[in-house]
Amino acid sequence: MKNSEEKIDLRTAFALFKDEKHIDRPVMMGVLKDVFMTQLAKIYGSADNFDVIINVDKGDCEIWQNLEVVEEVEDPVSQISLEDLEEMGETDYEVGETYAKAISMKDFGRRGILNIRQNLQGRIMDIEKANLYNTYTERVGELFTGEVYQTWAKEVLILDEEGNELRLPKSEQIPGEHFKKNDTVRAIIKSVEMKNNTTPYIVLSRTSDEFLVKLFEQEVPEIYDGLITIKKVVRIPGERAKVAVESYDDRIDPIGACIGVKGSRIIGIVRELRNENIDVIPWTANTQLLIQRALSPAKISSIDMGESETDKIRVFMHPEEVKKGIGRGGVNIKLAGMLVGREIEVWREVDKNAAEEEEEDVLLTEFANEIEPWIIEKLQSIGCDTAKSVLALSPADVAKRADLEDETVEEVMGILRAEFEE
């Protein structure tokens, strides 16, 4: 390998490896040897009697073919005759000894050198993919900050500091938010997938509960230090979230610590989540008490937990409290149910002093023959369990809160109005 042009060719092949800071020396040496051994096997049919010595620092290597000295050659790949050695001026060898023959790069030929380069490039890419996959797999659940490189209808492409690509799918974006090139984005690393041996598909999320947890850890030192624990988080991204916290130190107010003086700590989280309302409540293992805290400031008259854990929980409130308990679009009651792990229904409790007036009202269940049961359930879920409670609302309000078509609401209201017409 004395020809300078051959050295240049080899250095070019090595350059990809030498510039890869994530590939350690032992791996680099092993791959280079394997690549040359593979090419030698293609040329000679076997590489069993070859040695490849890599000099990474110089970007050079030595290749030796170990040949057995014999009287008569039967296999030119593994043997050399004593007569041929003598003609070469090698007179110090005897039959049975081994002669090491230097292999020049020109023995590979131009096509062989091209194969080596292509093989190296492929192996480098495989190592890069494996390193990237392993690195981000270990980081799943971490908070990530990156820059938007490109936006599409279904996802946003974000680059990390080293130019690696991460994806923020539309399904993992907070409803209503839009990004443009060069925007800085914070999200949680949700998953890493390897599809068809391509570059790892790294998924980010801004809608996961864990993202909110990490934001609290960043903004509230007591949570990061373990003095306050987030017991459970439930979210309807972009709308509202409930965070149940507990303090292991009686001297620390977990709610005050999370909110901060004049909301100084939580305001940054709210802004990051595009003004998502966040309720921080004290955690308790008492389900009924947790429901009361989750539905605050609405006041609950009584709670019927049902006969089994699969039954819906029925929460009774005075009519003036129902709207506060259910929340806009039923978000508050839905989150409370997510927090305790069971579906919650709100029922209006009639004041005894208004009994005479309420006697004229009719439960929605009485209209089961005229109104579909699933429609009745949707109306009950927004706190309307009687005919008059539905008629007291505007059709548009009922349609929005109960998630019903305008035509369906008009039909239902027509049936209910007919009940009170003479």
Reported confidence tier of residue 16, pLDDT bands at 50, 70, 90: low
For 308, which DSSP code?
A: S
Q: What is the CATH number of domain 144-207?
A: 2.40.50.140
Q: What are phi and psi of 63, to 5 degrees?
A: -125, 125
Does 221 score more than 90 pLDDT? yes
Rounded CA-CA distance 193/348 in Å is 49
Q: What is the dihedral of CA 292, 297, 298, 299, to 10 degrees?
A: 60
What are the angstrom distances between the C-alpha of 312 and each of 86, 295, 306, 317, 330? 98, 16, 7, 16, 16
Report the range of poorest mean pLDDT among 137-146, 303-312, 337-346.
303-312
pLDDT digits (tens, 9 = 90+) for 308-354: 888 889 999 888 888 888 888 889 999 999 999 999 988 887 655 55
The strand pairing partners of 167, in sequence order, are 157, 203
pLDDT of amino acid 4: 39
Question: Which SS3 state, helix, strand or coil, does residue 277 take?
Answer: strand
Which tokens belong to 220? 């509230």
What's the Cα-to-Cα distance from 231 to each of 138, 235, 351, rounded to whole Å?
24, 14, 37
Average model confidence (pLDDT) across the chain: 85
Helices (H), 205-285: 209-219, 221-224, 254-259, 266-272
Query: What pLDDT was estimated at residue 2?
Result: 39
- pLDDT of 14 reads 55
Closest CA to 273 of 223, 310, 237, 227: 237
Please name which of 300, 285, 304, 376 lies closest in space to residue 332, comparing C-alpha atoms: 300
Encode pLDDT of 235-261 as tens digits: 999 999 999 999 988 889 999 999 999
Mean pLDDT of 98-103: 89
Q: Residue 100 and residue 49: Cα distance in Å, rounded?
A: 10
The residues with which 156 forms a beta bridge, in sequence order, are 151, 168
Supply the DSSP string of 339-401, one letter for each residue.
HHTS-EEEEEPPPGGGHHHHHT--BGGGGTTTS-HHHHHHHHHTT--BHHHHHTS-HHHHHHH
Give domain limits for the chain.
4-128, 144-207, 354-422
Which has more confidence, 11 or 282?
Answer: 282
pLDDT of residue 191: 95
| Mean pLDDT, residues 21-50 | 81
Contact of 301 with 316, CB cutoff 8 Å: yes
pLDDT at 59 over 70: no
Q: Give kind and range of the element (H or E) at residue 97.
A: none
Q: Is the pLDDT of residue 197 over 50?
A: yes
Long-range CB contacts for residues 222-227, cutoff 8 Å, separation at least 24: 222/247, 222/252, 222/254, 222/257, 223/257, 223/258, 227/252
Q: Which pLDDT does position 5 carry in this prediction?
A: 41
Q: Looking at the predicted structure, is the pLDDT value of residue 167 above 80? A: yes
What dihedral angle (degrees, nearest 10) is formed by the CA atoms of 32, 37, 39, 42? Answer: -160
What are the two backbone dihedrals, phi and then psi, of residue 322, each rounded to the nearest 5 degrees?
A: -60, -45
The angle formed by the CA atoms of residues 261, 267 and 273, to the nearest 5 degrees, is 155
Class of domain 354-422: mainly alpha
pLDDT of residue 149: 95
- Are 50 and 67 within 8 A, CB to CB? no
| Class (C level, CATH) for 4-128 | alpha beta
